[in-house]
């Protein structure tokens, strides 16, 4: 590895017992709000469900066991742009041809958690019903202010800046060319990787096109595109209060969410339910242990505030950046329960779209909800681009 590049270090997640004792004490001391009769989920998180979840979190959930499961993945940290960045770097197992490096970018409210189920399917397809020739080297970073990555001490980073960090990370790992994929904020980061590093990014796969932003003449839109823009606006009016809070006054909410684990769970679980293909029953898509693994990760790292602040940074991205068209070959897998689903005309307008598929099931967190389906989508989309890589395996980082 180039001596001028930062050197990665092995990282092992570890939680001191006193942090868990403090968490359980806070959970047992939760001060619950009053609830209108038969409110259910209509006003936000169902408090009856949350009481059940919090009781399990306090006295049944085994975080050390979940943490040990997460630690079985190959974790590292490296300093980029003055920030310690955590990432999982899983190498292809028994590849049968050129290995495509792939950087996967998550969204909110999650972290590397989004891809934990899909990593083995991508690195070892031969053991999971796939073709060994489709193996990837997979890199899953936590964005700054999320998970085990450092929180920016001053202004939050936007998706453009994070894409620049990911390009540097791939250089540190010895990858000259690679694929990029993601959803939600990770869709934006993947987009800017393609925009700003087209000589390195072989193709970009996304599960959404983001919330539409009109920067030109709206009269040029097709009827389907106008319906998409109007539908996104309607969704924002009915469901977007959280995003408005994140963009404008994130620190107000951060005080309560950082102090109250029950409040933090309410903020996250409501989105897991609303944005997933679960038919209104969040535990159709996630077990309690899976939900609480994500929420506990946010609690122990204290990153709910810093994760929300990224919305403010992204809200200030200049319109000229938002109007750029991605010329790197782009593919989209649209999941039926995702937030807003763009028509093909919009995808063609905003990217060099070479493949669009409609998934039969899944939602906003598709890599976690439907890992087998998502993995097959990535295998199929990136398959034609493997031939553009230099034959053979790119060098691994020199680790201590």
By annotation, the residues acting in catalysis are: 184, 311, 364
Is residue 310 within 8 A of residue 335, CB to CB? The reply is: no
Does residue 213 sit in helix, strand or coil? coil
Task: Match 């990787």 to its residue by tokens.
Answer: 193
**Count of CB atoms situated within 10 Å of the CB of 331:** 24
| C-alpha span between 104 and 115 (Å, rounded) | 8
CA 379 to the chain's CA centroid: 19
Name residues whose C-beta falls within 8 Å of residue 370's C-beta, 6 or more positions apart in sequence. Answer: 277, 335, 359, 361, 362
Burial 225-241 (b: 16+ CB within 10 A, else e): beebbeebeeeeeeebe
Name residues whose C-beta falls within 8 Å of residue 212's C-beta, 6 or more positions apart in sequence. Answer: 225, 228, 229, 232, 340, 342, 346
Is residue 10 within 8 A of residue 59, CB to CB? The reply is: no
| C-alpha span between 345 and 221 (Å, rounded) | 9
Task: Match 């099931």 to its residue by tokens.
Answer: 361
Strand residues in 343-400 grouped as ranges (E): 351-358
Cα–Cα distance list, 358 to 36, 63, 243, 284, 383 (Å):
39, 36, 26, 21, 18
Is residue 185 within 8 A of residue 106, CB to CB? The reply is: yes
CA 322 to the chain's CA centroid: 20
């Amino acid at each position: 590895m180039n001596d001028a590049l930062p050197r990665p270090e092995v990282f092992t997640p570890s939680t001191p017992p006193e942090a868990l004792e403090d968490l359980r004490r806070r959970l047992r001391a939760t001060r619950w709000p009053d609830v209108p009769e038969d409110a259910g989920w209509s006003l936000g998180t169902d408090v009856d469900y949350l009481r059940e979840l919090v009781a399990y979190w306090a006295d049944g959930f085994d975080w050390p066991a979940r943490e040990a499961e997460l630690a079985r993945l190959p974790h590292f940290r490296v300093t980029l742009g003055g920030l310690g960045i955590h990432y999982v770097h899983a190498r292809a197992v028994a590849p049968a041809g050129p290995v495509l490096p792939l950087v996967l970018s998550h969204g909110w409210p999650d972290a590397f958690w989004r891809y934990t189920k899909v990593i083995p399917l991508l690195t070892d397809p031969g053991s999971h019903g796939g073709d060994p020739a489709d193996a990837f080297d997979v890199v899953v970073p936590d964005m700054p202010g999320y998970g085990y990555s450092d929180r920016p001490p001053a202004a939050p980073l936007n998706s453009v800046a994070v894409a620049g960090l990911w390009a540097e990370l791939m250089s540190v790992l010895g990858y000259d060319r690679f694929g990029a994929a993601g959803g939600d904020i990770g869709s934006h980061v993947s987009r800017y990787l393609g925009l700003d590093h087209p000589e390195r990014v072989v193709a970009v796969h996304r599960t959404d096109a983001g919330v539409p932003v009109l920067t030109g003449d709206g009269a040029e839109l097709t009827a389907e595109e106008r319906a998409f823009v109007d539908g996104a606006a309607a969704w924002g009016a009915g469901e977007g209060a959280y995003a408005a809070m994140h963009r404008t006054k994130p620190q107000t909410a951060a005080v309560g969410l950082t102090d109250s684990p029950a409040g933090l769970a309410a903020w996250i679980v409501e989105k897991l339910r609303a944005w997933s293909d679960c038919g209104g029953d969040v535990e159709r898509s996630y077990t309690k242990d899976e939900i609480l693994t994500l929420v506990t990760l946010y609690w122990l790292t204290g990153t709910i505030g810093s994760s929300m602040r990224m919305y403010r940074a992204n809200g200030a991205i200049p319109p000229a950046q938002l109007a750029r068209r991605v010329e790197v070959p782009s593919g989209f897998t649209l999941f039926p329960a995702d937030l807003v689903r763009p028509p093909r005309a919009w995808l063609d307008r905003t990217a060099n779209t070479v493949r669009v598929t409609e998934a039969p099931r899944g939602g906003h967190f598709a890599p976690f909800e439907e890992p087998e389906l998502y993995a097959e989508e990535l295998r199929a989309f990136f398959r034609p681009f493997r031939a553009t890589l230099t034959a053979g395996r790119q060098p691994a980082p020199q680790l201590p």
